[in-house]
Amino acid sequence: VRVRAEKSEVYPDCNSACAEVFRFRRVQGNHPDTLAHMRDSRLPSVAVQNIFCIGRNYAAHIAELGNRPAGQPVVFTKPTSAIHHPDQPIRLPAHSSEVHFETELVLLIGKGGRHISRQEALSHICAVTVGLDLTARDVQNHAKQNGLPWDTGKGFDGAACLSPFVAFDAAPPLSTFTFSLQINGELRQNGQVSNMLYPVDELIAYISTVFTLQPGDLIYTGTPEGVGPLKPGDHLQLALNGQVLSKFDVA
């Protein structure tokens, strides 16, 4: 897949999807907490639009929660007020007594679209990072058992932790990417993008059949196995391809 076919004149190291999102989404006046920051400090931050999340995308995680694989990607959303950056400690919400970490590859959409083909899908990605889809598991389980929506279990303040984004390049291919979470120095989750049940190109194609993707949208692509509860005082470290991108502390 050719991602870097057209280069940006303003940001020569970036692909054409980045050029698009930097042009349209360099919005002044957005609340700083709802921005996606780039690891390369020469690149502008992006105002996040919608946050899409994928559930049940790794077989071993489906098994550990006792869920069944879905016949198509499970999609839910979080509000932008859930975005949380590493400069502030994670505050566990009062409405839950069991907040789980879910470590996920996160995509920043640079070029929007509807009915995006799988062939074109990767060219819509500006940048990637590792994030945490924090989940109030007790609240989510109660909602699932009662056939209710998950929003209070998945969308609370701080539930969308984000590391700085790394500009996306076609090489090396996404299928070789790995990401990890260490807590207090111990490896707790180790994800391999190649283990996704629905790969990234298929996720973008599928989501864009239902929702118009916009520059500045995020996609949390699902967690591998190893999820578990956070506790006060935990120190978290997120890495992409072995490179540490962020550290979060739990208050």
Shortest distance (Å) from residue 25 CB to Zn ion: 24
Amino acid at 7: K
- Residues 117-136 touching Zn ion, rule: CB under 5 A, are 133
Nearer of residues 170 and 197 to Zn ion, judged by Cβ: 197
Q: Which residue is nearest to Zn ion (CB)?
A: 133
Q: How many residues contact Zn ion, by CB under 5 A?
A: 3
Shortest distance (Å) from residue 149 CB to Zn ion: 15
223 makes contact with Zn ion (CB under 5 A) = yes
Shortest distance (Å) from residue 35 CB to Zn ion: 22
Shortest distance (Å) from residue 103 CB to Zn ion: 9
Nearer of residues 77 and 123 to Zn ion, judged by Cβ: 77
Nearer of residues 20 and 133 to Zn ion, judged by Cβ: 133
Q: Which residues of 94-105 are buried (b: 16+ CB within 10 A; e: fewer)?
A: eebeebbbbbbb
81 by Cβ neighbours in 10 Å (0-12 / 13-18 / 19+) ranks as middle
Region binding Zn ion by CB under 5 A among candidate stretches 17-25, 199-207, 220-228, 235-243: 220-228
Q: Where are the alpha helices (DSSP H) in 103-185?
A: 118-121, 137-145, 151-154
Nearer of residues 227 and 245 to Zn ion, judged by Cβ: 227
In contact, 112 and 212? CB cutoff 8 Å: yes
61 vs 68: CA distance, rounded Å: 10
Find, among 236, 247, 245, the residue nearest to 37 by Cα. 245
- Residues 128-187 touching Zn ion, rule: CB under 5 A, are 133
Nearer of residues 3 and 181 to Zn ion, judged by Cβ: 181
One-character DSSP codes across 102-158: -EEEEEEE-S-BSS--HHHHGGGEEEEEEEEE-EEHHHHHHHHHTT---HHHHSSTT
- Residues 54-113 touching Zn ion, rule: CB under 5 A, are 102
Largest CA distance in the chain: 53
34 vs 223: CA distance, rounded Å: 22
Shortest distance (Å) from residue 4 CB to Zn ion: 29
Nearer of residues 191 and 215 to Zn ion, judged by Cβ: 191
Shortest distance (Å) from residue 228 CB to Zn ion: 13
Which positions touch Zn ion (CB under 5 A)? 102, 133, 223
